[in-house]
Amino acid sequence: MNSSISRFRPWLLALAAILGIEAAYWWFARPDPVARSNFLELRFAQPDVIQRYFAYGKMEELAPRSATILHVGDSSGFHAVIPPVVDSMLPGERYLNFGIATTIGFPGYYALAQHMLERHPSLHTLVIYFSMLCAYPQPFLLSDNPQLLGTDLANDLSDPARFMLRPPTLALREEVTNRVYYLNGRFRVLDAPRTDNSGYLTFRSIMTQVGGWTRETDNPDDLPPRNIMAAWQALDPRVAERTCPRQPTTAWDWGSFSRRTHIDIVLSEFADLVARHNARLVLIPNPIPTGSEAFREIAPIENEFRRFVARRPEVLLAPADVWPSHRFSVAAHVATPHAVASSERVARFLAAHPPRQGRAASAPPEPTPADRVSISAAQPFSGYVWDTPDRTTTPPSIAMRAGRSEALLHARVRPGAPYRLTIEVPPGRAEAAREALTVSVFGVLAEPEATEDRAATTLAFTIPEAAVSRHGGFLEILLSLRGLTAWPEAQTTDRPAAEALRVHRFGLERQTGPGLAALP
């Protein structure tokens, strides 16, 4: 008997040591549940799939935040819904954009929704935002597709059995692997971004400040004009049918002993989930570009959605609006200059369908935006129609793309006061820029600061408080070389490259002083 126990003594001792280590780490560090994750692969010298970084980045930054409206779904919503814009039109609400990518799939959307609903009782609305063109519930986006990242997400976030395999020290995994794989910073800087993918770096520069939104970067400047349906035209019809079935797909359901559409099965699961959390389900399709109907007739799919909401009247379905194709970057992505309009579309629909009595919102707090923002040309930032940085200048500079007359810059600041925008340009370029440049925010002109020194390399403008506060401090700054204060519907490339605006740095600083609102 004793000898049989003694054989296990090393195991018992090891178990005690592990329990001690885990308890001590948990007690001192209290790691977030998301940090105790096996979701990232973290292979030696080999980056993960980029969508995995987007998903994990959102989980680690946004999952601890309280909200009243949670948005899950594919990349169409990731790029199309700016939470501060929605919040500004829905007083008392806090919108969180957890849209990631189609490769997450519906199991992933479900796992995220379940995790957040369990964690944040303040949530009263779950929005599933998706593209009606392909990204509706169908086999390719369900759990029988092993390529879906959502399966891993579901395992990681909502599988209680696997939770046992996620001890507190798992939160140290990324730091430990970085230190060991890269010789304590010798081969890679310890706090370097997970990947140098430009889309990911743009995402990291803006996502946390704006509740999860990031501009579309698949097609960086959306010009020259192209056939946004070209990708589908080029697709093998069999592949197109497998990835985007024309009719709702069905499966045998043992519960009801009948065949049901995947749309019905999947959305019923979501509807049941939100019902358990005293919340409601809202389905919002991304706008559809004109011309798409020639390649993908959505009526059979849309009708099945309508049948579903007729059976489950507590679920809301927004119409699949048709927008002009020049407002799109690719078929399923609204182009960056139209993301504000797209966000307003979502806000208007939600405002027209307020939550039921008893779930009146009181917006949970969010991190206070900055009073001062500095955007260097040397670092990735959220903007539109900017060329790749020129690192041969000192300091590095960035120019509006050749042939373009307008560009955008995004930032989030604390609202409630005017802001001073400074634009540092290279010597010799200041006077021409000062002559040509018009700056506006949401159609409101920013007043240029007068200067005696025409050769000064810093241009300054004052952005009025009304423009700053319009969308809760989210700023979409339009820089135009032809005096426009709104993004042109039809973009042109008629400007000579030599006239392009070149910039070293942008700065935003909250203004206080006589006649201005004092800081709270």
Partner 1 sequence: MLYRIAPLDRWLMAAFGQWLGRKLAIVLMFHLVCFGWILFRASTTEFPLVWASVLALPQVVLAPWPPLVPYWDHVWAGTAGFLPVLAGSINHIVVSNWLFAVFGWGTLLFGLTLFLPDYLGYRANGEFPDRYARMSVAARAATIVVLVYALLFFGRRQANEFIYFAF
Query: Which listed range, 69-77, 180-188, 222-230, 239-247, lies at the site for partner 1 (CB under 8 A)?
Result: 180-188
Does 162 bind partner 1 (CB under 8 A)? Our answer is: no
Taking CB under 8 A as the rule, does residue 25 contact partner 1?
no
Give CA–CA dist 138/142, Å, rounded.
6
Closest distance of CB 64 from partner 1, Å: 23
Using rule CB under 8 A, residue 50 touches partner 1: no
The CB-of-40 to partner 1 minimum distance in angstroms stands at 8
Do 144 and 105 contact (CB within 8 A), yes or no? no
Which is closer to partner 1, CB of 163 or CB of 182? 182
> How far apart (Å, rounded) are the C-alpha atoms in residues 421 and 448?
9
Q: DSSP labels for 202-270?
A: HHHHHTTTTTT-----SSTT--S---TTHHHHHS-HHHHHHHS-SS--EEEETTTTEEEEHHHHHHHHH
Comparison of 149 and 210: residue with beta carbon closer to partner 1: 149
Q: Which amino acid is at 378?
A: A
Query: With binding defined as CB under 8 A, does residue 190 bind partner 1?
Result: no
- Residue from 23, 29, 180, 519 that binds partner 1 (CB under 8 A)? 180
CA 278/CA 273 separation, integer angstroms = 9
* Residue 10 binds to partner 1 (criterion: CB under 8 A): yes
Q: Which of 130, 74, 95, 114 is nearest to 274 (CA)?
A: 114
Distances from the Cα of 407 to the Cα of 231, 469, 478, angstroms = 27, 21, 6
Which of 25, 26, 38, 507 is in the footprint of partner 1 by CB under 8 A? 38
Among 10-18, 89-97, 249-257, 309-317, which window interacts with partner 1 (CB under 8 A)?
10-18
Q: How far is the CB of 179 from partner 1 (least distance, A)?
A: 10
For residue 187, state whether it binds partner 1 (rule: CB under 8 A).
yes
Which among 403, 449, 443 has a CA at the least distance from the CA of 423?
A: 449
In this structure, what DSSP letter does residue 292 have?
G
Residue 19 binds partner 1 (CB under 8 A): no
Contacts of 241 (CB under 8 A, 6+ apart): none
Exposure letters 15-36 (e unless 16+ CB within 10 A, then b): eeeeeeeeeebeeeeebebbbb
Out of 27, 28, 44, 257, point to the residue binding partner 1 (CB under 8 A): 44
Q: Does 27 bind partner 1 (CB under 8 A)?
A: no
Site string for partner 1, 96-135 (x = CB under 8 A): ----------------------------------------
Which residue's CB is nearer to partner 1, number 172 or number 378?
172
Q: Which is nearer to partner 1, 26 or 182 (CB)?
A: 182
The number of beta carbons lying within 10 Å of the beta carbon of residue 163 is 14
Considering only residues 145, 158, 177, 290, which one is a binding residue for partner 1 as defined by CB under 8 A?
177
Determine, following the binding rule CB under 8 A, whether residue 13 of this chain makes contact with partner 1. yes
Considering only the stretches 41-49, 70-78, 222-230, 499-507, report the one whose residues sit in contact with partner 1 under the rule CB under 8 A. 41-49
45 binds partner 1 (CB under 8 A): yes
Is residue 150 within 8 Å of 105, Cβ to Cβ?
yes
Of 9, 30, 238, 454, which one interacts with partner 1 (CB under 8 A)?
A: 9
Q: How are strands ordered across the β-sheet holding 458-463?
A: 372-376, 505-510, 419-424, 458-463, 447-448
How many of the chain's residues bind partner 1 (CB under 8 A)? 30
Q: Is the peptide bond before 496 cis (omega within 30 degrees of 0)?
A: no
Largest CA distance in the chain: 96
Q: Which residues sit at the interface with partner 1, rule CB under 8 A?
A: 9-11, 13-14, 17-18, 21, 38-45, 152, 167, 169-170, 172-173, 176-177, 180-183, 186-187
